[in-house]
């Protein structure tokens, strides 16, 4: 997992470069963000629910 410091540094670097949107962190985090924008909301919610259930957060 990325540290808070590394994420903050990447975000601030992108801000200084004039980027409007910044996706710091691992590629999987960026992919999830992109996919959640593309999928219909209901499907994205089902996928997220299944991921959380697989991770044990359904209790």
Query: What is the spatial distance between Cα 3 and Cα 36, in angstroms, rounded to a whole number?
Result: 23
Query: What is the spatial distance between Cα 4 and Cα 16, in angstroms, rounded to a whole number?
Result: 18
Residues of the chain with pLDDT under 70: 1, 59
Q: Is residue 30 assigned to a domain? A: yes
What size, in residues, is the chain?
A: 59
- Spell out the long-range contacts of 39-47 with Cβ–Cβ below 8 A and sequence spacing 24 or more: none
Query: What is the spatial distance between Cα 2 and Cα 23, in angstroms, rounded to a whole number?
Result: 12
Q: Is residue 59 assigned to a domain? A: no
Total structural domains within the chain? 1
- pLDDT score, position 59: 67
Please give the residue range of the domain that contains residue 35: 4-54
């Amino acid at each position: 997992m990325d540290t808070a410091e590394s994420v903050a540094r990447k975000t601030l670097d992108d801000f200084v470069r004039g980027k409007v949107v910044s996706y710091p962190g691992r590629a999987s985090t960026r992919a999830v963000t992109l996919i959640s924008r593309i999928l219909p909301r209901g499907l994205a919610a089902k996928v997220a629910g299944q991921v959380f259930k697989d991770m044990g957060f359904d209790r």
